[in-house]
Amino acid sequence: MAATKKTALTKSSSKGLGKGLGKGINALIPEGNEEEKVIIKEVVVKEPAETKVRISQIEPNKSQPRKMFDEDALIELSESIKQYGVLQPLLVQKKDNYYEIIAGERRWRAAKLAGVKEIPVIIKDYSDQEVVEIALIENIQREDLNPIEEAQAYQRLIKDYRLKQDEVAEKVSKSRAAITNSLRLLKLDTRVQEMVMEGKLSNGHARTIIGIEDGDKQYMIAQKIFDEKLSVREVEKLMRDLDKPQKPAKLLPENDFVYRDLEEKFTKIMGTQVSIKNKNNNKGKIEIQYYSQAELERIYDMLRSIKEN
């Protein structure tokens, strides 16, 4: 009976990584039932086991999709680690003279801040592609990546490892459309991408202005969104207005300066803004601005007194 169980374990451990990736990091470390756990203690197997490693021997993965870490959140986590320790082990792989983090860089950074000397890890060997996939999946599940970092990670899987978009979608348990929309963000001007990474622009804002091909114009709109705190709906309206063809400027009559001079004189007399809308046939209209009912009555009394005189 024991031999049968050993054979079953061997088959289980030989399964590919791809089907488990979208289900979470725990899917990479089979737990087994109670009887199987007893057998693991009795025989030498290659399944990963938790151990402790000096934190000075651990280094982050340079290919980690996540580049930006919230300092306040790290300090908060470090305080928790001081009190309770690191509750979840890091996933690492052995390099020449150090261990490289596959998943858990945030915990490692917080543990360093907390002054921890040793940290729990699970040591396992993966290919370069698997390392990228695991790091990407962990960050996506924790919602740790900003939209640009996530798009860059997808692009790397496609470019460096020649995966198709639907293959990437399957690995990270997302739709193909979601991957396509994410990759479109990389068409943004690099300055706008920086604004997204810094949290100055949301994902929705960024998608709205992708259609602006001129980089300088796109950056100018992005700054306007940030400075004026425009909502996504307001940006959509702004984009529709940009798409409308501009009306040609009307040619002013040769004697237009005469009407502008009269405007100033009327404004001084009336004590409020007066506009003269003249046409080329010397016809037009006069507009008198008022800003309250009291001012309207004042203008009425003024015109009536002129008529009576």
**Residue pLDDT, tens place only, 266-298:** 888 888 888 888 776 777 888 888 888 888 888
Query: What pLDDT, on a 0 to 100 scale, did the predictor assign at position 178?
Result: 93
- Domain residues for the domain of 7 are 1-47
The pTM score is: 0.53
Q: Give domain status of residue 96, yes or no.
A: no
Q: Give domain status of residue 73, yes or no.
A: no
Q: Are residues 198 and 230 in the same domain?
A: yes
DSSP reduced 3-state for 95: coil
Q: Give domain status of residue 276, yes or no.
A: yes
Percent of the chain scored above 90 by pLDDT? 32
Q: How confident is the model at residue 231 (pLDDT cuts 50, 70, 90)?
A: very high
The winner for highest mean pLDDT among 42-46, 132-136, 201-205 is: 201-205
Is 14 a residue whose pLDDT tops 70? no
Q: Give domain status of residue 198, yes or no.
A: yes
Instruction: Please enumerate in sequence order all residues whose Cβ is within 8 A of that of 141, keeping only pairs 6 or more positions apart, or say none.
Output: 24, 25
Identity of the residue numbered 157: L
Q: Are residues 221 and 267 in the same domain?
A: no
Question: How many Cα atoms occupy the beta-carbon half-sphere of 245 within 13 Å?
Answer: 2
Q: How confident is the model at residue 5 (pLDDT cuts 50, 70, 90)?
A: very low
Q: What is the mean pLDDT of residues 211-219?
A: 92
Is 47 a residue whose pLDDT tops 90? no
Q: Give domain status of residue 110, yes or no.
A: no
Q: Give domain status of residue 212, yes or no.
A: yes
How many structural domains does the chain have? 3
Of 243, 267, 289, the position where a domain reaches its end is 243
Q: Please give the order of strands across the beta sheet that includes 118-123.
A: 50-54, 118-123, 90-94, 99-103, 58-59
Report phi then psi at 93, rounded to 5.
-135, 150
Is 32 a residue whose pLDDT tops 50? no
Give the integer Cα–Cα distance in Å for 251 and 269. 29
Query: What pLDDT, on a 0 to 100 scale, did the predictor assign at position 258?
Result: 79
Q: Give domain status of residue 293, yes or no.
A: yes
Query: What pLDDT, on a 0 to 100 scale, did the predictor assign at position 309?
Result: 67
Catalytic positions are: 105
Least confident window among 46-55, 149-158, 192-201: 46-55
Spatial contact of 284 and 260, defined as CB atoms under 8 Å apart: no
Query: What pLDDT, on a 0 to 100 scale, did the predictor assign at position 48?
Result: 62
Give the integer Cα–Cα distance in Å for 161 and 127. 11
Q: Are residues 237 and 283 in the same domain?
A: no
Give the integer Cα–Cα distance in Å for 50 and 93. 12
Q: Give domain status of residue 177, yes or no.
A: no
